[in-house]
Amino acid sequence: MNMAMSIPGHIDPVPVPRAIPALDDSRLDLVGLSRDAIRAALEEAGLDAKAAKLRAKQIWHQVYHRGAIRFDAMSDIAKPHRAWLADRFVIGRPEVIEHLVSTDGTRKWLLRTPDGNDYEMVFIPDADRGTLCVSSQVGCTLNCRFCHTGTMRLVRNLTAGEIVGQVMLARDTLGEWPSQPEGRMLSNIVMMGMGEPLYNFDNVRDALKIVMDGDGLGLSRRRITLSTSGVVPMMARAGAEINVNLAVSLHAVTKEVRDEIVPLNRKYGIEELLQACADYPGANNARRITFEYVMLKDKNDSDEDARELVRLIRKYDLPAKVNLIPFNPWPGAPYECSTPERVSRFSSIIFEGGISAPIRRPRGRDIMAACGQLKSAAEKKSRAELDRLAEEKQAALADVPA
């Protein structure tokens, strides 16, 4: 059995070596391209329309369904054609800077874009499912006060290829090609990594289309959740063009507190946001909207807050579930996590209001699985390395006779 297929449960966190070498050339990377875009690229490279159409269909199946990373593995394409393709195109994967496995089986990757920006991906295995937490941006422009990603300076949108590439890389690691409908470890995807997915709408949509394609990665939209901090004007489009499950980072029930912890609230308020949730297509009891609520001590965790949350959800008649997230602290964070007793009490009040409110169990603490933490640890390490080099240089200079 392939070692990478078993999720270790009782070992220390281990770095896992990368299997696929980084690409370093100017050939076009096909990952992230739609069928039409692949066909157009083939025509541009010289194939006639008919050949390009057929070849695009074969390549699509090989790349997204079978997980091929080399053209010479594409047995349904004649050998000379494979070589022709390999001269012009590549099938890439994100570059892995670090890959850690937690004692609880959680995996975390630090990935790097070709232009040198780092972002994260996390895989959380459970008894009956495995959830991949995918990033949509490097950093985030929204600056929620409890979120480490919001403190990062560097921001750029990830491309569709970089987004779907995360899922493909996870499949490589778990040994889960070709795409199968049943029995896979990677069964669910949440767009809850770094970044605000609705601020990178087109790329997120294009990537998720490939993930949901029956001859692509083949994951049903019911197994995909998009989390937004509340970009109200994009929510209707998300429903119309992507229509995956919706999660909303509510985190507070009064204007005063939400303005402070989710500054986007100053632009799109709570009532507007809840109305957009009520208008989201397909929301019903079988497909409830998840409200994420990070538990911050003495900030948003009172009994009144819980009762107000129930009232708001009822007012908008929302088929909803509340996910209570214990705050994951990071160095310099301006908040503390609510006590376990407070979190339980908060949860009970919501349950008594007839709304499910499970408490999320922290996972992968030993590998810093909270959003943004691995990236800053890596940055710190490189700063420490720089300091050490500077010291060495100084010491060397001091040795030079005057």
Residues near ligand SF4 (CB under 6 A) are 140, 142-144, 147, 149-150, 195-196, 229, 249
CB of 249 to ligand SAH, least distance (A): 4
Work out the burial of residue 239: count CB atoms within 10 Å of its CB; fewer than 13 is exposed, 13-18 middle, 19 or more buried: middle
Helix intervals (H) in 248-302: 255-261, 270-278
Among 77, 371, 374, 375, binds ligand SAH (CB under 6 A): 371
Among 291, 327, 350, 368, binds ligand SAH (CB under 6 A): 327
Q: How far is CA 297 from CA 258, 301, 313, 321, 342, in A?
A: 14, 6, 23, 22, 9
Among 98, 196, 206, 260, binds ligand SAH (CB under 6 A): 196
The two three-digit tokens of residue 169, written as one number: 């890389």
- Report the C-alpha gap between 290 and 225 in whole angstroms: 9
Q: Is 370 in the site for ligand SAH (CB under 6 A)?
A: yes
Phi, psi of 294 (to 5 degrees): -85, 130
Range 302-311 burial, b when 16+ CB lie within 10 A, else e: beebbeebbe
CB of 193 to ligand SAH, least distance (A): 6
- How distant is the alpha carbon of residue 282 from its chain centre? 23
Of 113 and 376, CB closest to ligand SAH: 376
Of 85 and 370, CB closest to ligand SAH: 370
133 is catalytic: no
Residues 6+ away with beta carbon under 8 Å from 304: none
How many C-beta neighbours within 10 Å does residue 89 have?
A: 20
Q: Is 132 in the site for ligand SAH (CB under 6 A)?
A: no
CB of 150 to ligand SF4, least distance (A): 3
Catalytic residue among 98, 120, 162, 292: 120
Q: Among ligand SF4, ligand SAH, none, what does residue 29 contact (CB within 5–8 Å per kind)?
A: none
CB of 311 to ligand SAH, least distance (A): 21
120 is catalytic: yes
Point out the residues that are catalytic: 120, 371
